[in-house]
């Protein structure tokens, strides 16, 4: 009987500590920063050099954002989407696109998109470029993706509501608290 009681108490204590550890990490309050990237993938599973370089940049940027934003309870999730050649042929500018928190990367960076002749997998198509501060990028560098991700993350972090220490101005005349001028 005594042994059963000790085991029950130990299990209860362990369960309580495990519950506290789960809430202490902030996991129930984690916010999600969703990054979506899409590009042309041909029947052999290949993409162009431009999209291949952007893919490496996206993966690098996502890892940097995960490390940075973990401390403020934001989880970064990357979704890669493959465009078939038939979808690509209808609108080549849909390839090599990035959305962060549901908005195109161009919006976060006050950028525009352009186009330029691509190669290999894309054939003779003019593919998407991004223009930031007058500079055109065919492959999107990790630094721009990180910058856009951080800008998006600031919108996810809500500032706590702060109650003023002073009453509204019409009440200050009636009672002047020590914190008010």
Each residue's pLDDT tens digit, 102-150: 999 999 999 999 988 887 788 778 888 999 999 999 999 999 999 999 9
Q: Which residues contact 110 (CB under 8 A, 6 or more apart)?
A: 132
- The pLDDT, as a whole number, for residue 72 is 92
Domain boundaries, the chain: 26-156
3-state secondary structure of 3: helix
Q: pTM of whole model > 0.75?
A: no
Q: What digits encode the pLDDT tens for the residues 72-104?
A: 999 999 999 999 988 988 998 899 999 999 999
| d(C-alpha 55, C-alpha 65), whole Å | 15
Using the CB atoms, write b or e for 3-21: b if 16+ within 10 Å.
eeeeeeeeeeeeeeeeeee
Let me know how long the chain is. Answer: 181
User: Both tokens of residue 153?
Assistant: 């993350």
Residue among 82, 148, 77 at smallest CA distance from 121: 82
Q: What digits encode the pLDDT tens for the residues 30-61?
A: 899 999 999 989 888 888 888 889 999 999 99
SS (H, E, C) 14-77: HHHHHHHHHHHCCHHHCEEEEEEEEEECCCCCCCCHHHHHHHHHHHHHHHHHHHHHHHHCEEEE
- The pLDDT, as a whole number, for residue 13 is 35
For the chain, the distance separating the N- and C-terminal CA atoms, rounded to the nearest angstrom, is 68
Calculate the dihedral angle through the C-alpha atoms of 62, 66, 67, 71, rounding to the nearest 10 degrees.
150
3-state secondary structure of 38: strand
| d(C-alpha 22, C-alpha 1), whole Å | 32
């Amino acid at each position: 009987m005594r042994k059963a009681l000790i085991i029950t108490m130990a299990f209860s204590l362990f369960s309580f500590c495990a519950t506290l550890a789960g809430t202490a990490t902030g996991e129930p309050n984690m916010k999600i920063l969703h990054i979506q990237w899409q590009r042309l993938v041909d029947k052999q599973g290949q993409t162009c050099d431009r999209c291949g370089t952007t893919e490496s940049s996206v993966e690098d940027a996502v890892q940097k954002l995960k490390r940075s934003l973990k401390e403020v309870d934001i989880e970064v999730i990357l979704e890669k989407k493959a465009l078939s050649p038939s979808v690509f042929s209808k609108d080549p500018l849909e390839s090599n696109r990035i959305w962060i928190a549901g908005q195109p990367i161009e919006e976060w960076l006050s950028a525009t998109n352009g186009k330029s002749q691509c190669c290999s997998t894309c054939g003779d198509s003019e593919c998407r470029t991004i223009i930031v501060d007058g500079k055109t990028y065919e492959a999107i560098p990790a630094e721009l993706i990180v910058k856009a991700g951080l800008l998006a993350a600031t919108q996810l972090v809500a500032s706590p509501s702060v109650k003023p220490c002073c009453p509204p101005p019409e009440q200050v005349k009636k009672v002047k608290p020590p914190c008010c001028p």
